[in-house]
Structure 1
């Protein structure tokens, strides 16, 4: 029986326990190391960061134009809804007055009682006068019937207006939902771009964004180096703007050089690309649509070889960017959040078309 007795288990000795713990920690560290290596994010070169940031900015700008369009439509729907609600309130006030008038007539009839006309004629001391009064009462009855008809018509019209208001409210909510979706898209893309740029040194960021060449405002033009993108335009005499309004738009754009890019902004101190175009022509007395894809259809299309200062130039297949042509192959545009309003060559982006609005 003693041969089958189970031997008592002894706790780990200090050495054995320390050895087991060391092995466990080593295994955990090895596993963590492998896992970290498998998920480590590769280090991007400045060129790769630039490529990704440029893509994110293009995607954000496309979403910005959709946001601008949704905001414009949302504002229109809101104004229509407000007008419908005001009209319903006016019609309701008119209806209430008509109802009160009918109520007064009904109360008077109730007080006078309803007597058969034959008995009234028989009991009348002056039958001729009675007949005259009866004819007047009949005409009054006709007017009362017409008043009832008007009230019914007003009720139908108010219900139609309320139905239109319900439809407009549904449209407004849909526009607002689209607005929020595009806002989330824009902010997400811009946040991702900022995170990528934050990995670079200040010098690398300046090289990637090209922001260093555009520091300062228009008052510093005379001291700029030949690398300044404004210089080629100033050294050569550009073709004149075809009209005074086009010249005024170009002058406005020049006055905004160095202004920050802010998506959804239309000035006077910050702009997105279509916001700058809209503000420049608003200053020239011309109303432009809010979005790039609407602005390209706002005037007469011109070819690249026909460009004159003041023409709007558009880029990318989705018509997601716009600049104001200023001559010599140059434009003024609001590029993206990493660069202010600046002069740039129009061949730095895929050309999509141009239009002349003045």
Structure 2
């Protein structure tokens, strides 16, 4: 056993080695910085720099959220198509089985009737007239058998076609689900890193989103939605829905009724008004006709950032209702708070 003992290290050398390893790991962690997904904040960063980093992480998480929403929409559609194809395949298989049973019955009857040569059957028959009627029946049965074979073959081809389409949809669904998992991991990592950074700031240092400007607190709180403003009844209903959801939490991927992400709030607001909108920001911007910033009226959709990754519902006087991010609930905010990318009028 003595031969397997490790050599005794000098206390000073062991301590020095451990210190060197610790410093090396610390240096590597510092070099990785905040871009490493869940790395710790550089203690030398100012509160303003940390807030900027948090804003960047929230934007990136929102981009991933909209990608997740798009992938989920495609996965849901593929799932519905697959379910429909499975039902169709089951119905066609029932018809195929019925056709096979019919073919089997005709074949069995013909086999039982075909044991003797037709001429011999005629010679031995005690009733030649009845035999001739029977012979005609056999010929008709042969014709029916050929038709039955064609039906079976047709039904079989249809079943195989539906099964092939279902396999394609299953492949698509599997890919969409894998995509969902990737986006979910990205979102979770970005939000976790943002939370970690915010935890390092005092309540006073943390970012505070601007709401209605103090110069028009009353007007911005109740925008003009009368017919003279050009707002339709459906747009007014969408705004009313969004207003009723003020204070609701932001949850990525949520479409209500108690929590929302940015595009989920817009979709739910217009759904309440009887208007169906796409799920994602980059699809919603194409759902109506584009309007300029100068043409905005309550109920219009306003979009932000070059990637069209955020959307709000315009309510007049330069204000919108939107679901900002996990650190802020649904609220009223000025549209000049973020880089304006465009607007769409749905109704």
TM interval, shorter chain, is 0.7 to 0.9
Q: 1:66-77 alignment to 2 at 5 Å?
A: 66-77=67-78
Distance apart, 1:141 and its partner CA: 1.6
Check conservation: 2:225, 2:231, Cα contact below 8 A.
Answer: no
Q: 1:74 to 1:27 in 2, by over 3 A?
A: closer
Distance apart, 1:101 and its partner CA: 2.2
Distance apart, 1:329 and its partner CA: 0.8
Q: 1:330 aligns with which of 316, 319, 339?
A: 319
Task: Please state if 1:52 is matched with 2:53.
Answer: yes
**Cα deviation 1:31-58 (Å, max 9, x = unaligned):** 4786477455443211001110111111
Check conservation: 2:107, 2:145, Cα contact below 8 A.
Answer: no
Separation of aligned partners in 2, 1:237 and 1:57: 32
Distance apart, 1:168 and its partner CA: 0.7
| TM-score of the pair, normalised by structure 1 | 0.83
**Cα deviation 1:209-235 (Å, max 9, x = unaligned):** 33xx77xxxxxxxxxx97599545138
Aligned to 1:15: none
Check conservation: 1:241, 1:310, Cα contact below 8 A.
Answer: no
Q: 1:352 to 1:56 in 2, by over 3 A?
A: same
Q: 1:95-106 alignment to 2 at 5 Å?
A: 95-106=96-107
Aligned to 2:118: 117
Q: 1:145 to 1:33 in 2, by over 3 A?
A: closer
Check conservation: 1:229, 1:344, Cα contact below 8 A.
Answer: no
In structure 2, the residue corresponding to 1:125 is in which secondary structure? coil
Distance apart, 1:24 and its partner CA: 4.2
Aligned to 2:236: 247
Separation of aligned partners in 2, 1:108 and 1:237: 83
Separation of aligned partners in 1, 2:178 and 2:82: 17
Q: 5+ residue gaps in structure 1?
A: 1-19, 215-224
Q: 1:1-358 alignment to 2 at 5 Å?
A: 21=11, 24=13, 27=16, 31=20, 35=24, 38=27, 41-205=42-206, 208-210=207-209, 227=214, 231-234=218-221, 240=229, 242-358=231-347
Please report the RMSD computed on the Cα atoms of aligned residues, expressed in angstroms: 2.5
| TM-score of the pair, normalised by structure 2 | 0.86
Q: 5+ residue gaps in structure 2?
A: 1-9, 31-41
For these two proteins, the number of residue pairs brought into alignment is: 324
**Cα deviation 1:224-275 (Å, max 9, x = unaligned):** x975995451387577352000000011111111111000000011100000
Distance apart, 1:94 and its partner CA: 1.6
In structure 2, the residue corresponding to 1:338 is in which secondary structure? coil
In structure 2, the residue corresponding to 1:352 is in which secondary structure? strand
Check conservation: 1:312, 1:354, Cα contact below 8 A.
Answer: yes
Structure 1 runs (4+) greater than 6 angstroms displaced: none
Distance apart, 1:131 and its partner CA: 2.6
Q: 1:33 to 1:125 in 2, by over 3 A?
A: closer
Check conservation: 2:99, 2:152, Cα contact below 8 A.
Answer: yes
Distance apart, 1:202 and its partner CA: 2.0
In structure 2, the residue corresponding to 1:163 is in which secondary structure? helix
Check conservation: 2:299, 2:345, Cα contact below 8 A.
Answer: yes
Distance apart, 1:160 and its partner CA: 0.9
Distance apart, 1:84 and its partner CA: 0.7
Check conservation: 2:110, 2:141, Cα contact below 8 A.
Answer: no
Separation of aligned partners in 2, 1:129 and 1:30: 111
Bigger Rg, structure 1 or 2? 1
Separation of aligned partners in 2, 1:25 and 1:228: 67
Aligned to 1:5: none
